[in-house]
Structure 1
Amino acid sequence: MLNISISFNNRIFKSVKEAMEELGCQFREQNQHSVLVWTDSIRDADYFSNLNPWQVVNRIPCAHVLCRKASLTRCIQQIAEYFPQLYNFYPKSYILPFKNSAFLRALKRTKCAWIIKPDSGSLGQGITILNPGSEYPPDESLSVAQEYVDSFLLNNTKFDLRIYALVTSVDPLTIYIYRDGLARFCSEATGHHSVFSQITNVTLNKQNPELDKFEEISRLISDTFPRLEKECNADIKKLWSEIDNIIVLSIMSAHRYLKTAVQRDCAPSIISRCFQIFGFDILLDRELHPHVIEVNYRPNLEYHRGPERRMKVTMIRDAIAIAAPLESLQAAVEVRPYGWDAASWKAFLLNNPTIINQIEQSRKRAIELSKYELIYPSTGDKQKVYQSVLNKIDQLKADVLPGTLISTEKDD
């Protein structure tokens, strides 16, 4: 049980409402006295300027930098110059139209396939796959061309993974991963050379008239990984470790932008006032090494069958319990619902350390009861590597990124 009040704007996913009900939370539209503000909007909007000092929101300022294809590519390319071996999980990429000439040379020179994705595209829309020897007529739309990664196959069928990462704080950076998710399969076997055999998007594959059952294209990772272990001798512990690593490194690549935005728009008041669930699309190559394909700002939380419902509701429920265990804050607001400003609220928390202690104890219990696992900060030598990467990232110049305000010059 989590005795807090949650305010929401407009529509929320059914799975989110069910998660809140399981926690025993009260929720109502635009309640100024709620400690948690929830939105399921996919728009990158101002969720922060109207927050009260005690309120926490499930959106991180500037998160679109991590989730737009062009800006994510640029962030990773910048730090990969210094740590190329750490960032080899991201496919070779060109941001178009700025790198049209370089991409055309690569297209002519290489014998691999390429996939071109619109910067803000979703649901598999607007994707073009260029086979070796294909021509590409350049245009001016912002997109990313990526080297096509040959997927590991199950039953001769391509699939990828939807992994959920929970960022509960940007400074200090704190990241959890959920030890389940979705394995999303193409609805046609490899070799058909159709969109249904090359793109794993569930919405797209549902349109295949040859699809018999929904579970053919969407399965739980907790069902799929044991199969990989049994049929393919996969080392699942090692696979999860590699997935953890590339998710941490991906989020870190955008850290300087996120950190600046949080300080400007949603600065902590002793505790973090923003968090977000990100959906990472991970592709396994033929050697079962994971690659980040893209990051979803608001992963689809709808469900289509019982097992998926249970997984998503539990994932959301536990994310709320970990990110917003704010019963002691809610009690304080109910005792004194008016008269707070940012300074007086911060002073109140500083003078009442037991409130912060209660929050941390509640968070610890929630983690222990969940499938979430802390992946950053890490420990030992791994944390030393992460820290050196993060230090370098925070030293880099914060360029204006493509897809935000474009200042990159076109190549010739």
Structure 2
Amino acid sequence: MSEPPGPDDPAFAATYQAMIEHDRERAVAELEALVAAKPACAPAWAMLMLAHHRRLDFVSGTAATEALLALDPTHHEGLQQLAFNLTACGNYERAVAAYRRAHAITRSPLSAYMVAVLLHRLGRLEEAAQAYGTILAASDPAGLEVLGILRGVMNLLRDQGQPLAADRFAHMLNLRYRQNPVLVSSFLVDRDQSSPFHEWLGLVDKATLGAVLARGMAAEPGAGRVPETFNLPAEQDALMRFAASEPDTLYIVKPARGSGGQGIHVTGDVTALAGLSDVVVQRYISNPWLIDGRKGHLRIYALITQAAPLRAYIYREGIVRIAPEPYDLSPDRLADVAMHVTNTALHLDHPGLMISQDETRDDEGAIRSLSALLRRMAAEGHDPDVVFGEIRSLVAWFLRQLEREGFFARQAALGSTRSFGPKLIGFDILLDADGHPWLIELQSNPAAKGAPLVNKINAEMFANIFRMSVGVLAEDSLSDTDLAALRSDPVALAAAELAHETRRSALFSSLSD
């Protein structure tokens, strides 16, 4: 392995950016060694900051960013990253100050917007109103940034008991939406995904998620299908005991904070895993449902529109991603990730990866629609309603476990529901050969763009979310009595919001039905 370039080498940044994308753990180890040897090297701290961000390690990322800013107090990316990390750690008070500092130097519209959002969450409504007013006055009325501001003001005014004033901003948003539904709705979804309740980001850590799932299975035995999962090194003894009781079992090994299929391998030799750290080991579902002889996984979407009481929906369309090589469990093929790992991004250079460029052809190539898969399963004798019903039950079970653990109560206690946008979650689910779903991973920020079929499915879903979350509540059909209640009664206002959301739910099906 060749020696990586030093921070004074012109190739330093490009080399480590590539390493962070393809071998994050190695990048972190090398960069930590470099900053230990050269603590005054700002470029090394900047790269380490980026590496921790890509690993979603916000605590370590905060420390690296603070070290960078101590060396370079006006580092634009560092200023933005520190504020984001503090938000991701739930330190909203410090995050407000950090975003204000970032905006003072970078003049970033996003920083100004986040100040207003966090003030709203902290219950400092008058300060939030002033912040929104300042950035609204300085914004381009035809620009994209104004969309988040308009929606923020709409929700803030409702929290301030001014629903009719809020409707004026809903009118503005609806006008922009009618001009370009895809652009407007996708922008707002992206804004919401970049600033969720911070505990969602923690669930991306596979070790943290694995612990939640284990508690869920203990609380409701048989209610959820999750492969046995072990976090190393803490649960190494438990893994060895399980392996002794289940001989000839295969295991899939994943970095705890990995993404995009990086660093994953399949093995039948658990003794080779001894000494590993910061990895998750799952029993491998070795009898997957095959699509044209290949393994695939489903991306299923859920939407949270209110934390307490919980309002949650499942989307009735989804995405199926298929491995580029035929499935084969021969011992000499276990190392072949192109057969076992179905993340499309990992196989972009594989000659067997065929992705249709025609969004209307949803049953060919490596990316297909959930509808197409269910049609195939129906043709093969499976009831698609039963299959989707089991998927729905699996998603509902997971959300019930979060509710049992106080997840949604903590969000509700932190700030008004209206200070959080609708939360879209991606569930990675594997069907076994009998058509039963298994929950494999959770995506807190599922990719919004991709192949033409992905773009089509997501565009329709984002538009659906917009129509549910942005609406004029004081409709012309309201009686004088109902209008007066809307203006004076918070319960009537909340009921009107729910009615609007329910009428426009379309492909989003309530998980409480």
TM-score of the superposition, structure 2-length normalised? 0.56
Distance 2:470 2:276 in 1: 47
CA deviation after TM superposition for structure 1 residue 207, in Å: 2.5
SS of 2:261 mapped into structure 1:
coil
Mark the CA change 1:71 to 1:212 in structure 2 (over 3 Å): closer, same or farther: closer
Which residue of the partner structure matches residue 290 of structure 1?
Answer: 437
- The letter of the residue matching 1:325 is V
C-alpha separation in 1, matches of 2:492 and 2:270: 65
User: What does 1:189-338 align with in structure 2 at a 5 Å threshold?
Assistant: 189-191=326-328, 193=334, 194-214=336-356, 216-230=365-379, 232-255=380-403, 256-268=405-417, 273-305=420-452, 307-322=453-468, 324-328=469-473
CA shift for structure 1 position 176: 0.6
Pick the structure with more strand per residue.
Answer: 1
Alignment equivalent of 1:35, drawn from 154, 166, 178: 154
Hey, what's the Cα distance between the residues in 2 that align with 1:73 and 1:325?
A: 35
Checking the alignment, whether the CA contact within 8 Å between 1:180 and 1:222 is kept in structure 2 is yes
In 2, distance between residues paired with 1:117 and 1:325?
A: 39
Matched residues in 2 for 1:350 and 1:99: separation?
A: 55
Say which is worse superposed, 357-366 or 94-103, in terms of deviation: 357-366
Deviation at 1:351, TM superposition (A): 3.8
Question: Secondary structure in 2 aligned to 1:81?
Answer: helix
Indicate the SS of the match to 2:504: helix
Change (3 A) 1:28 1:209: same
Judged with a 3 Å threshold, the aligned counterparts in structure 2 of structure 1 residues 225 and 31 are, in CA distance, closer, same or farther, namely same
Aligned in 2, Cα 1:137/1:227: closer, same or farther, shift over 3 Å?
A: closer
Contact 2:192–2:422 (Cα < 8 Å) also in 1: no
Which 5+ residue runs of structure 1 have no aligned equivalent? 1-7, 11-24, 48-58, 330-346, 379-412
Taking a change above 3 Å as real, the CA distance of residues 39 and 365 of structure 1, as seen in their structure-2 partners, is closer
Distance 2:326 2:493 in 1: 55
Instruction: Give the drift of 1:27.
Output: 4.2
CA distances 1:30-67 after superposition (whole Å, capped 9, x unpaired): 637643694737998xx4xxxxxxxxxxx234113443
Determine which structure has the larger helix proportion and give its number: 2
Larger RCO of the pair (alpha carbons < 8 Å, separation 6+): 1
**1:209 aligns to what SS in structure 2?**
coil
Q: Distance in 2 between matches of 1:265 and 1:156?
A: 48
Percent of matched pairs sharing the same residue: 22
The corresponding residue for 2:210 is: 73
Gaps of 5+ in 2: 1-108, 112-141, 156-186, 357-363, 475-484
Is the Cα–Cα contact under 8 Å of residues 63 and 258 in structure 1 kept in the other structure? Answer: no
Matched position secondary structure for 1:327 = coil
Cα distance between partner residues in 1 of 2:490 and 2:298: 44
Cα 1:79–1:168 change in 2 (3 A) is: same
Match for residue 341 of structure 1?
none
**1:359 matched residue in structure 2:** 497
Hey, what's the Cα distance between the residues in 1 that align with 2:388 and 2:275? 39
Aligned residues: 318
Take 1:43 and 1:168, find their aligned partners in 2: how far apart are those partners? 13
SS at match of 1:35: helix
Query: Rg: which structure is higher?
Result: 2
Equivalent position of 1:169 in the other structure: 306
Give the distance between the partners of 1:222 and 1:254, measured in 2 at CA. 28
How far apart in 2 are the matches of 1:314 and 1:162?
15
In structure 1, what is the Cα distance between the partners aligned to 2:439 and 2:213?
A: 11
Name the aligned partner's letter for residue 40 of structure 1.
Answer: D
**Structure 2 Cα separation of the partners of residues 354 and 260 of structure 1:** 22
Q: Which residue type is aligned with residue 305 of structure 2?
A: T
